[in-house]
Every structure is written in structure tokens, then in C-alpha cells.
């Protein structure tokens, strides 16, 4: 059976939506937060993707999910306690780049750069 580029793209989108759905649940993100972290994705696209794992994701959106997955992975490695790992983004942090706000607040500014900053911060903390 040959895999056409369309089938591979659809499968890639499905896997990405599944990952996002799991991250939204684990990080306890509400609808608005999830949409912002996905680059202000339209509500209908977000709900279709989260609920039925369908819908095309562009490169920017897939990169956002990748950064969130990296953040999740780093936190699971850094903290043996899963509750601490999953609530870290909600706790105020005085270190740069957060400067007194939570990593979640920092990321909810909405830019891809903010997600990359948090990922880089955690990579550095891990000594990676």
C-alpha cells in the first residue's frame, strides 16, 4: 500500500491533534488558553481538532505543538512528582525571562518565540 503525501499529512495532523489534546488536559488549559498557544486558532478549527482529531495544521501550528511537547518532556524529566511537573507552568518564577510571572502567563502572550523561550529555559535547566 502506497502512502500518498496527502495521507501522510492527514496522519501527521491527526497525531499532532492527539498530542495537543493530551497537553491541554495535562496542563489544564482552558479553551481560550489552548487557542492562544496555537496562535489564535479559530474556535471551530480548535474544537474540531481537539474533539475529532481532524483538521489541517500549518507549519507554525505544528511547531507550537512541538515546543509544548518539549516543555512537557523536560518537566517530566526535571520533576519526579508529576503534579509538580504539570503545575510548574502555573507558578510564578522570578528568573528571566519570566521576571515574576508564571511561565504560563509568559507563553500566553501568544508568540511562537515565547514558547521557544520556555523550551530553551527548560533545556538549559536540564543541562541539555
Domain boundaries, the chain: 5-126
Quick one: angle between helices 112-126 and 59-78, nearest 10? 30
Residues 19 and 84: their CA atoms lie apart, in Å, by 20
Q: Which of 126, 111, 100 is nearest to 38 (CA)?
A: 111
Rounded to two decimals, what is the model's pTM? 0.90
The three grid cell numbers given for residue 89, joined into one nine-digit string: 507552568
The more confidently predicted of residues 7 and 91 is: 91
State pLDDT tens for residues 79-103.
999 999 999 999 999 999 999 999 9
Q: Is the pLDDT of residue 8 over 80?
A: no
Cell 519526579 found at: 80
Binned at pLDDT 50, 70 and 90, residue 1 comes out as: very low
The per-type count for the chain, helices as H runs and strands as E runs, is: 7, 0
Kindly give, in sequence order, each residue whose CB lies less than 8 Å from that of residue 35, ignoring residues fewer than 6 positions away: 41, 42, 43, 46
Q: Is the pLDDT of residue 51 over 60?
A: yes
Residue pair 38/46 in contact by the 8 Å Cβ criterion: yes
Amino acid at each position: 500500500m502506497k502512502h500518498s503525501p496527502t495521507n501522510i499529512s492527514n496522519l501527521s495532523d491527526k497525531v499532532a491533534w492527539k498530542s495537543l489534546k493530551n497537553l491541554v488536559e495535562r496542563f489544564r488549559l482552558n479553551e481560550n488558553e489552548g487557542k492562544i498557544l496555537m496562535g489564535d486558532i479559530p474556535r471551530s478549527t480548535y474544537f474540531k481538532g481537539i474533539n475529532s482529531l481532524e483538521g489541517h495544521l500549518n507549519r507554525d501550528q505544528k511547531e507550537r505543538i512541538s515546543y509544548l511537547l518539549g516543555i512537557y518532556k523536560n518537566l517530566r524529566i526535571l520533576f519526579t512528582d508529576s503534579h509538580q511537573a504539570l503545575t510548574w507552568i502555573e507558578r510564578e518564577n522570578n528568573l528571566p525571562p519570566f521576571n515574576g510571572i508564571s511561565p504560563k502567563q509568559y507563553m500566553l502572550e501568544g508568540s511562537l518565540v515565547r514558547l521557544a523561550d520556555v523550551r530553551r529555559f527548560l533545556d538549559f535547566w536540564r543541562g541539555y
